[in-house]
């Protein structure tokens, strides 16, 4: 083959490949523009009253204007029209007066931040995250904030993933640091596995919380109870991920690996009774990968991605007595957080 | 052995000769082409890896914890594939086509990405990508060796690694730029990734000659075809190099830990944590060619060992009481210098000590030794980290490295006396 012919072929391949990319890109851009400028596909109301009354605060994933923004619906009418705020978050957790928001700051070099907002949209606090946002929880009285991020850009030329879970005070800003620096006590003895990771904090009171301790190599997970003053994490039981404490403080909803591992893992929501230590799996066929939220003492909420649309999801509800099938509570929603205006209780 | 400019088109040849002043070192066009192929492939793979966590969590709504489980497995599979790639390329004496297979596998994985939706499908695609990377590395480095002058092998690898890492830096930029324009434009990124991979594969297939070192050597010496001989992979000088690379690898804890120390002490590093590796990469790109040249002048073994002084400096600076900003920037600079002084230079050193018929395996052995010992080191250091605290454990490793560098200098002493030439016998 002559050199001229070789170069001709290379140029032809490059033109076709890059040309096709450009066409796909322009088409995707146009589609995105159309989608984001289109009116929201769901019924919306004015954002002014979004923080009044008993409500569910969540991330709106309805296509159209307001995609990705913090929204709320009345607790009494979750399927009704939603109020969309001007604050975009990837993950949100709210209490009566404020909310914690984790987001990716888009840019030619994206960064990731957590922000504490008051309900009127004022930034009260910001803190950097070491990677893609995963979970956030704010304690019932709003004094403590936990955030979990997937650490990225960690290791040279490898795709390594680990979590970075931190707790800090909302009022004084005091940072308790990465949970990996705390003392881990497994079955009564201090333990220092190299590959430990923590995620999914749920607060009990001003000093106590539950979380998951996971060993990434073996896939073993523990439910641990954290003591902020003592900086300890003590194992309670095994195979519990992403705990969430019920409003009455008697049960923990979590996801449990019921089959597979690695990329084929299947999580089923389950309930752990703190007093008796019993665990019951709930009647949910799909794999649930979310930190569960409690609607009330009998019902849990979780997000399920829509299989047909990337980036869209619904919030489902499920009774914990297993008496009913799961059902959609809020369409086009993610990261639900139940806020009752009366007490700090959730 | 050096295949002169015969791989170049005649017209280009004379043009290059005119431009080249006598005595000035240049690298062969094949090395540059291989560098560009690597650059395109790295643009392709890094654009995907950079956005993968965002895609999995944001678009698929899944957590990525499971990736952690997979990572250890990938490392093992990649190491095995690397040796296999080197061995097959040596046995068949077809370095180009084995490398081509590796690049093509990565490109095919990109097509899979266009149709993959679930987490499992994406992991399969990533695994195929890793397998391809393992497979192609050693035969490609053997090709670089075969098309370089023995005395400028370090420079050749420097040029290749520079281009390679430019690609690694451009990939994420391209991906994030697409996301900036189209926030949900992952599909566009996959298409762009496929485009760059295909161009890379075509460039390799059409422009890079299949330099059959064994056939050439046999012809030159009018001897029967030499058989693949494991003995030459484990020859005495090679054993010393493997031991040196292994010992130093055991003290290379991975920059992740250095970044974590910086993150804990410095607001600047905490804010830019996800991008610290870009700083290291930049230093690598700037320093790879100068340090490659230096290795040609003063000896590859020397530069390889002293390169670890850069690593030592990074460890110490990370815990040194100095301005946080300065500490962060200096750490990234020294880490980049460390990679620039060791990555390509080790390949050059291993190539220089291997006869043509086992060159791929020799290079693969050295690289696998480094990969495995670094993996062990990271795991072991994690243990220290949790039991003694981050600063103390960092200083302990720094102390061990301070002892190890002179020891390795003595171990590799015979290599310093050797000339930088590829043994063609």
Q: What is the pLDDT of residues B197-227, one digit of tens each?
A: 999 999 999 999 998 877 666 655 555 555 6
Q: Which residues in A lie closer than 8 A to residue B249 (C-beta atoms)?
A: none
Closest CA to B189 of B92, B80, B58, B285: B58
Q: Are residues B150 and B280 in the same domain?
A: no
- The listed range with the strongest mean pLDDT (A33-37, A139-143, B198-202) is B198-202
Alpha-carbon span B200 to A17, nearest angstrom: 11
Are residues B400 and B289 both part of a single domain? yes
Lowest mean pLDDT among A23-37, A201-215, A290-304, B267-281: B267-281
Of B54, B63, B69, the CB nearest to A104: B54
Mark which of B208, B240, B263 sits at the end of a domain: B208
Same-domain check for residues B356 and B386: yes
Chain A contact for B59 (CB, 8 A cutoff): yes
Q: Does B202 share its domain with B264?
A: no
Q: A160 and B71 in contact by Cβ < 8 A?
A: yes
**Taking Cα atoms as reference points, which of A196, A229, A230 lies closest to residue A212?**
A196
Report yes or no on B387 lying in a domain.
yes
Q: Least CB-CB distance to A311: which of B59, B66, B75?
A: B59
Q: Does A345 touch chain B (CB under 8 A)?
A: no
The shortest CB-CB distance from A159 to any of B49, B54, B178 is to B49
> Taking 90 as the threshold, does the pLDDT of residue B263 lie above it?
no
B62–A214 CB contact, under 8 Å: no
What does DSSP assign to residue A286?
S
Q: How far is A335 from chain B (nearest CA, A)?
A: 10
> Residue A38's pLDDT is what?
92
A175 shares contact with chain B (CB less than 8 Å): no
Interface of A with B in 199-228 (CB under 8 A): 199, 214, 216-217, 219
DSSP B48-94: HHHHHHHIIIIIS----HHHHHHHHHHHHHHHHHHHHHHHHHHHHT-
Of B61, B180, B274, the CB nearest to A131: B274
Taking an 8 Å cut-off on Cβ atoms, the answer to whether A307 and B117 are in contact is yes
Residue B292 and residue B166 in one domain: no
On whether both B234 and B204 belong to a single domain, the answer is no
- Chain B, 316 to 335: residues with Cβ < 8 Å from chain A are 335
Whether residue B422 lies inside any domain: the answer is no
pLDDT for position A217: 65
One domain for residues B369 and B300: yes
B310 by Cβ neighbours in 10 Å (0-12 / 13-18 / 19+) ranks as: buried
B7 within a domain of the structure (yes/no): no
Q: How many CA atoms lie within 13 A of A136 on its CB side?
A: 33
Place of tokens 């752990």: A272
State residue B332's pLDDT score. 95
- At B417 the pLDDT is 61
> CA–CA distance from A194 to each of A170, B253, B391 (Å)?
30, 13, 16
Domain residue spans in chain A? 1-37
- Interchain proximity A263–B120, CB inside 8 Å: yes
Instruction: State whether residue A249 sits within 8 Å of chain B by CB.
Output: no
What is the per-residue pLDDT for B378? Answer: 78
CA triple A55-A102-A118, angle to 5 deg: 50
Beta-carbon contacts of residue A70 (< 8 Å; ≥ 6 apart): A57, A58, A59, A60, A84, A85, A87, A88, A89, A92, A94, A99, A101
- In this structure, the answer to whether residues B187 and B288 fall within a common structural domain is no
Q: Which pLDDT belongs to residue B14?
A: 41
Identity of the highest mean pLDDT range in A186-200, A239-253, B53-67, B248-262: A239-253
What pLDDT is recorded for position A294?
A: 97
Inform me whether the C-beta atom of residue A173 falls under 8 Å from chain B C-beta atoms: no
B160: closest CA of chain A, how far (Å): 16
B123 and A263 within 8 Å at the Cβ level: the answer is yes
pLDDT band at B79 (very low <50, low <70, confident <90, very high): confident
Asked if residues A148 and A100 have their Cβ atoms less than 8 Å apart, the reply is no
- Burial class from Cβ neighbours inside 10 Å (0-12, 13-18, 19+) for residue A325 reads exposed
Residue A39 DSSP code: P
Cβ <8 Å between A159 and B274? no
Question: Contact, B293 vs B154, CB < 8 A?
Answer: yes
For B5, residues 6+ apart whose C-beta sits below 8 A from its C-beta are B13, B16, B17, B28, B29
Instruction: Answer yes or no: is pLDDT of B285 > 90.
Output: yes
Q: Do B271 and A111 touch (CB under 8 A)?
A: yes
Residue B3 has pLDDT above 50, yes or no: no
Q: A212-240, pLDDT tens digit by residue?
A: 998 766 778 899 999 999 999 999 999 99
Domain count, chain B: 2
Residues near A323 by beta carbon (within 8 Å), at least 6 away in sequence: none
Higher pLDDT, B19 or A87: A87
**Does pLDDT of A318 surpass 80?**
yes
Q: Are residues B258 and B160 in the same domain?
A: no
Backbone conformation region of residue A278, classed left if phi is above 0, alpha if psi is from -120 to 50, else beta:
beta
Tell me the range of A39-48, A138-147, B206-215, B410-419 where mean pLDDT is highest. A138-147
Q: Which residue has the higher pLDDT, B95 or A307?
A: B95
More confident residue, A117 or B276: A117
User: Where in the sequence is the domain holding B249, given as residue range(s)?
Assistant: 230-417
**The CATH number of the domain where B338 resides is what?**
1.20.1250.20
The 8-class DSSP code of residue B118 comes to S
Q: What is the mean pLDDT of residues B175-188?
A: 92
Q: What is the mean pLDDT of residues B19-40?
A: 78
Q: For A35-39, A259-263, A337-341, which range has the lowest pLDDT when averaged over its residues?
A: A259-263
ipTM: 0.83
% pLDDT > 90, chain B = 53
Chain A CB within 8 Å of residue B176 CB:
yes
Could you tell me if residue B245 is inside a domain? yes
Residues B250 and B362 occupy one common structural domain: yes
Q: What is the pLDDT of residue A130?
A: 85
Separation between Cα atoms, residue A57 and residue A50, nearest integer Å: 9
Running DSSP on this structure, what letter comes out for residue B136? H
Q: Indicate whether B366 belongs to any domain.
A: yes
- A1 in contact with B, Cβ within 8 Å: yes
Q: Does the predicted model carry a pTM greater than 0.95? A: no
Average pLDDT over residues A58-63: 95
Residues 6+ apart with CB under 8 A from B11: none
Pick from B208, B241, B269: which residue ends a domain? B208
Residue B305 lies inside a defined structural domain of this protein: yes
Residue B218 lies in a domain: no
Q: State residue B69's pLDDT score.
A: 45
Asked if pLDDT for residue B363 goes beyond 80, the answer is yes
Q: Mean pLDDT in chain B?
A: 84
Question: Could you tell me which residue, B50 or A30, shows the higher pLDDT?
Answer: A30
Which chain B residues contact residue A161 at CB under 8 A?
Answer: 53, 64-65, 67-68, 71
- What are the pLDDT digits (tens) for B110-161? 998 888 777 777 778 888 888 899 999 999 999 999 999 999 999 999 999 9
Q: Which residues of B touch A25 (CB under 8 A)?
A: 178, 181-182, 185, 188, 191-192
Question: Is there a single domain that holds both residue B314 and residue B379?
Answer: yes
Tokens linked to A311: 């980036």
The CA distance from B269 to A131, in Å, is 13
Cβ distance of B185 and A334 shorter than 8 Å: no
pLDDT confidence of residue B227? 60
Rounded Cα gap, residues B49 and B285, in angstroms = 20
Q: Are residues B236 and B123 in the same domain?
A: no
According to the model, what pLDDT value does residue B1 have? Answer: 32
With an 8 Å Cβ cutoff, is A6 touching chain B? yes
Q: Judge: A10–B207 Cβ closer than 8 Å, yes or no.
A: yes
Residue A54 pLDDT > 90, yes or no? yes
Q: What is the DSSP letter of B222?
A: T
Q: Which residue has the tokens 């930190």?
A: A291
Closest chain A residue to the Cα of B73, Cα to Cα? A217
Structure tokens belonging to residue B265: 């002490």
Which residue from B minimizes the CA distance to A110?
B176
Edge-to-edge order in the sheet of strand A55-60: A44-45, A82-88, A69-74, A55-60, A333-339
Residue of A nearest to B62 (CA): A289
What is the chain B residue with the closest CA to A31?
Answer: B182
**For A154-165, what is the mean pLDDT?**
56
Determine the Cα–Cα distance for residues B374 and B367; give it in Å rounded to an integer.
11
Q: Which of A6, A133, A216 sits opposite B68 (nearest CB)?
A: A216
pLDDT for position B56: 80
């Amino acid at each position: 083959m002559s050199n001229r012919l070789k170069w001709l072929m290379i140029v032809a391949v490059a033109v076709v490949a890059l040309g096709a990319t450009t066409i796909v890109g322009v088409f995707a851009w146009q589609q995105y523009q159309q989608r984001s400028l289109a009116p929201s596909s769901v019924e919306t109301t004015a954002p002014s009253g979004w923080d009044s009354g008993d409500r569910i605060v969540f991330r709106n994933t309805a296509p159209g204007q307001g995609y990705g923004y913090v929204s709320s619906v009345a607790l009494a009418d979750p399927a009704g029209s939603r109020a969309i705020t001007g604050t975009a978050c990837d993950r949100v957790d709210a209490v009566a007066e404020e909310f914690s928001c984790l987001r990716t700051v888009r840019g030619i070099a994206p960064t990731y931040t957590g922000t504490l907002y008051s309900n009127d949209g004022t930034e009260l606090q910001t803190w950097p995250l070491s990677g893609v946002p995963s979970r956030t929880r704010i304690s019932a009285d709003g004094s403590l904030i936990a955030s979990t991020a997937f650490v990225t850009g960690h290791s040279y030329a490898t795709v390594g993933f680990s979590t970075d879970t931190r707790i800090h005070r909302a009022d004084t800003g005091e940072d308790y640091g990465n949970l990996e620096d705390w003392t881990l006590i497994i079955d009564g003895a201090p333990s220092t596995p190299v590959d430990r990771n923590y995620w999914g904090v749920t607060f009990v009171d001003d000093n106590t919380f539950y979380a998951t301790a996971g060993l990434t190599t073996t896939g073993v997970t523990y439910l641990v109870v954290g003591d902020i003053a003592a900086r300890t994490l003590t194992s309670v039981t095994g195979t519990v991920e992403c705990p969430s404490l019920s409003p009455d403080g008697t049960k923990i909803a979590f996801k449990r690996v019921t089959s597979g591992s690695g990329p084929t893992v299947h999580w089923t929501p389950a309930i752990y009774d703190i007093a008796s230590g019993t665990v019951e799996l709930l009647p949910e066929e799909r794999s649930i990968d979310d930190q569960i939220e409690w609607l009330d003492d009998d019902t849990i909420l979780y997000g399920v991605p829509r299989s047909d649309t990337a980036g869209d999801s619904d919030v489902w509800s499920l009774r914990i007595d297993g008496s009913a099938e799961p059902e959609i509570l809020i369409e086009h929603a993610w990261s639900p957080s139940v806020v009752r205006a009366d007490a700090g209780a959730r | 052995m050096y295949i002169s400019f015969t791989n170049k088109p005649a017209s280009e040849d004379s043009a290059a000769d005119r431009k080249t002043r006598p005595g000035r070192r240049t690298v062969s066009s094949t090395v540059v082409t291989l560098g560009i192929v690597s650059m395109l492939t790295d643009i392709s793979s890094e654009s995907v890896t950079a956005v993968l966590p965002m895609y999995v969590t944001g678009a698929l709504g899944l957590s990525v914890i499971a990736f952690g489980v997979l990572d250890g497995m990938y490392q093992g599979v990649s190491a095995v594939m690397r040796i296999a790639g080197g061995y097959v390329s040596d046995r068949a004496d077809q370095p180009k086509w084995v490398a081509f297979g590796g690049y093509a596998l990565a490109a095919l994985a990109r097509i899979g990405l266009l149709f993959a939706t679930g987490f499992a499908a994406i992991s399969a695609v990533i695994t195929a990508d890793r397998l391809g990377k393992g497979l192609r590395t050693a035969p490609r480095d053997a090709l670089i060796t075969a098309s370089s002058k023995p005395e400028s092998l370090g420079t050749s690898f420097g040029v290749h690694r520079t281009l390679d890492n430019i690609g690694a830096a451009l990939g994420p930029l391209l991906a994030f730029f697409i996301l900036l324009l189209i926030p949900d434009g992952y599909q566009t990124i996959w298409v762009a990734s496929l485009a760059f991979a295909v161009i890379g594969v075509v460039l390799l297939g059409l422009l890079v000659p299949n330099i059959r070192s064994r056939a050439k050597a046999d012809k030159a010496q009018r001897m029967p075809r030499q058989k693949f001989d494991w003995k030459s992979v484990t020859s005495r000088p090679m054993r010393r190099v493997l031991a040196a690379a292994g010992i130093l690898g055991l003290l290379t804890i991975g920059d992740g830990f250095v970044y974590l120390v910086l993150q804990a002490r410095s607001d600047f590093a905490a804010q830019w944590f996800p991008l610290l590796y870009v700083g290291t990469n930049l230093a690598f790109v700037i320093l790879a060619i100068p340090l490659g040249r230096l290795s040609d002048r003063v000896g590859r073994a020397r530069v390889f060992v002293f390169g670890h002084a850069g690593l030592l400096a990074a460890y110490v600076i990370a815990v040194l009481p100095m301005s946080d900003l300065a500490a962060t920037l200096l750490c990234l600079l020294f880490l980049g210098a460390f990679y620039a002084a060791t990555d390509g230079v080790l390949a050059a050193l291993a190539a220089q000590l291997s006869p043509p018929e086992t060159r791929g395996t020799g290079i693969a052995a050295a690289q696998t030794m480094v990969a495995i010992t670094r993996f062990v080191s990271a795991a072991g250091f994690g243990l220290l980290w949790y039991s003694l605290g981050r600063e103390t454990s960092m200083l302990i490793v720094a102390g061990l490295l301070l002892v190890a560098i002179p020891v390795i200098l003595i171990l590799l002493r015979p290599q310093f006396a050797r000339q930088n030439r590829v043994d063609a016998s």
